[in-house]
Each structure stands twice: as structure tokens, then as C-alpha cells.
């Protein structure tokens, strides 16, 4: 059984297969976050660590799926950007999954650090592929926005 198959079997976790399904979930439940790891069961005993300093962080490093109030573009664009930015963390042993929890602090990249987490959904690789394609279509990376 692969890690992703195991995550699909986690009680109360749905498996999201499209960016539209992720958006629907975010519209229904907020705040939500995404984490790329071996999954919720593995993260029960895992501590996030800042790779540059070696410091152990006081929560799981995550990225927000719920957009900031200033975001005036489609939700799918926000989601594509959030998934695209961390798609490089995806490996056969690591996959994206959606969770909620309590913010215990911020990491070195200002990312939320969650404690008392609740797994919500696993995210299919096809969603990450869709996010990468959407990102390439709707954003202009590298341009100065000032």
C-alpha cells in the first residue's frame, strides 16, 4: 500500500481530484491549509524543522488555502499559486493533504505553524498538475508588481 493509498483510508478524509473540488471545500470550510508530507499519520510523530538553521518549529509547517481578504481574483487562482509554490516537495513518499488546526506561530518564511491539527482531505497528483498548468496560464512570475 502506498502512502497516498493509506491517506485515502484515513477516517473522515476525502480524496480531492480537481482544483474545483479543492475550491468547493475551501468555500465550505475555513480556514484550511495544505501540507506536503508523508500524511497525517506520519505527522503525528513528526516535527517540522527549519532546514537552514536546524531549529525545530513549534508546529507543522503549512500553507494557507483560504485566501487573504485582499485577494480579488478567483479562488482557483489562489489555490493554484499555493499548490504550485510547493509542488517541488511532492515525491512518491510525500503528497499534499488538507488540514485545519490552531496557529502556534510562524516559520522562517512566515508560513503558519499548526498544532492540534485535523486532517480533512488528501489531494491527488492530478490537482497539483492542474495547479501548475493554471499558474502558468494566469500568472506572470518574475514581474515586479510595484
pLDDT digits (tens, 9 = 90+) for 62-99: 999 999 999 999 999 999 999 999 899 999 999 999 99
Tell whether 146 is covered by a domain.
Answer: no
Does residue 9 fall inside a structural domain?
A: yes
Mean per-residue pLDDT for 102-107?
A: 95
How far apart (Å, rounded) are the C-alpha atoms in residues 8 and 129? 19
Q: Please return the burial class of 103, using the count of CB atoms within 10 Å of its CB with bins 0-12, 13-18 and 19+.
A: middle
Residue 39 lies in a domain: yes
- 145, part of any domain: no
Q: How many domains does the chain have?
A: 1
- For residue 112, give its domain range: 3-138
Give the N- to C-terminal CA distance of the chain in Å, as an integer. 49
What region, left, alpha or beta, does residue 49 occupy, with left being phi > 0 and alpha being psi -120 to 50 degrees?
A: beta
Does this model's pTM top 0.85?
A: yes
In a domain, 79, yes or no: yes
Q: Does 14 fall in a domain?
A: yes
Amino acid at each position: 500500500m502506498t502512502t497516498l493509498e493509506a491517506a485515502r483510508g484515513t477516517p473522515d478524509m476525502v480524496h480531492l481530484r480537481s482544483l474545483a473540488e479543492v475550491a468547493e471545500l475551501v468555500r465550505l470550510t475555513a480556514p484550511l491549509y495544505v501540507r506536503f508530507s508523508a500524511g497525517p499519520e506520519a505527522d503525528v510523530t513528526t516535527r517540522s524543522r527549519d532546514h537552514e538553521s536546524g531549529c525545530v518549529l513549534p508546529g507543522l509547517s503549512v500553507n494557507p488555502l483560504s485566501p487573504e481578504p485582499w485577494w480579488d481574483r478567483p479562488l482557483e487562482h489562489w489555490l493554484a499559486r499555493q499548490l504550485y509554490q510547493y509542488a517541488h516537495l511532492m515525491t512518491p513518499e510525500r503528497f499534499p493533504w488538507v488540514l485545519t488546526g490552531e496557529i502556534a506561530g510562524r516559520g522562517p518564511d512566515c508560513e503558519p505553524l499548526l498544532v492540534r491539527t485535523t486532517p480533512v482531505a488528501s489531494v491527488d497528483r492530478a490537482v497539483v498538475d492542474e495547479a501548475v498548468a493554471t499558474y502558468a496560464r494566469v500568472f506572470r512570475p518574475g514581474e515586479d508588481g510595484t
